[in-house]
Structure 1
Amino acid sequence: MKILSSRHLYTLLSALLIFLFSFFEMVAQENPPVPVQVEVRTSRNLNFGTFTAGSAGGNVTVSFDDQRSVDGDIFELNFGQPVSAALFDVYANPGTIIQIQDMGPYTLENQATGLQIDLFINSFSTGQKTFVTKAPNAEIPNEVFVGGTLRIPPENSGNLPGTYFGTFTLNFIHQ
């Protein structure tokens, strides 16, 4: 009986490992389809509803779940336009990491009087400004609800009646 030297044993084991690995399939996480495409559609606008402001000004906030709150010298009125958070439908492959970039603050203007109030975007249904898409495929939207706050300054508070319009910009950046 012949005993193998350690050198021969090492060579034999190396060859055996190479032989074994040639039959086993290695599995890793699949890369996302290239290029990664993201499409965002506005489904509903941000609406603060109807309210009135006293002389001290204050804030009107609509959260991502359509809840309105006021502070300062602001009074809610429950008629007129319904309160709603903005809704964006984000179409992307499952597992796409998306960061929301807020470009604010923004200005809303009463076109009849020229008075302006500030809008701050501050509430996201995703919890953070970075999220991972969870829809099962790219044809089903990932709904992102967005809320914000109007800051009504005391110097214009008594002169604010009317309808205010404006836009805000969010960039949806995929990683």
Structure 2
Amino acid sequence: MHNFRFYKKHSWLLLLMFSVIEISAQENPPIPIEVEVRTSRNLNFGAFTVGDAGGNVSVSYDDQRTVNGDIFELNFGEPISAALFDVYANPGTIIQIQQMGDTELTNGNGGIIYLSIDSFSTGQRTFVTQSPNAQTPNEVFVGGTLTIPADNSGNLPGRYNGTFTLNFIHQ
């Protein structure tokens, strides 16, 4: 009988060890996803002049300006730049950038031009954050295109300012 008790004690100890291992192997709860976006630099198309036929001025995500149509680049004034957004999120967060349509920009004299956002340093509108932690920003450079209509009214010249909206949606 003495051997039976010894065997029973070891079985109980072995069962207790497996219970502890099962508890410690449980998965941690999911990390809360928080995304913060800060504007670090504004989109700037620089100075240019437009003829009667209108055209387009584009600034790519890497600060390169191109023009087409009846538009002539001027090399003075504020520097050309893509917009820069600092995105703070946990590493590996999937983020989709959603634009809320074209933006109408006015100059205060009745002139209207249109802005569309069409160039992203992420290559596409959906990307995965790569920074090593949530305190290091993921830099997202954004470029766009101005569509300038043909205008003979004289109210097109001027300085245009405006705001565009992008939603950064985490998945």
TM-score tier (shorter)? 0.7 to 0.9
For residues 165 and 90 of structure 1, do their structure 2 counterparts lie closer, same or farther at Cα, with a shift above 3 Å needed?
same
On the 8 A contact 2:103/2:115 being kept in 1, the answer is yes
Q: CA deviation at 1:32?
A: 4.5
Deviations 1:91-134 (CA, angstroms, capped at 9, x unpaired): 000000000001120011102x0211000000000001000000
Q: Secondary structure at the match of 1:165?
A: coil
Counterpart mapping for 1:3-152 below 5 A: 32-34=30-32, 36-111=33-108, 113-152=109-148
Deviations 1:107-166 (CA, angstroms, capped at 9, x unpaired): 11102x021100000000000100000000000000000000000011358642210011
On the 8 A contact 2:119/2:144 being kept in 1, the answer is yes
Percent of aligned pairs with the same amino acid: 70
Q: What TM-score do the two structures reach when normalised by structure 2?
A: 0.82
- The one-letter code matched in structure 1 to 2:90 is N
For residues 157 and 50 of structure 1, do their structure 2 counterparts lie closer, same or farther at Cα, with a shift above 3 Å needed?
farther
Q: What TM-score do the two structures reach when normalised by structure 1?
A: 0.80
How many corresponding residue pairs?
Answer: 152
Runs of 4+ aligned structure 1 residues displaced above 3 Å come to 22-28, 156-159
C-alpha RMSD of matched pairs (Å)? 2.0
5+ unaligned residues in a row in structure 2: which ranges? 1-14
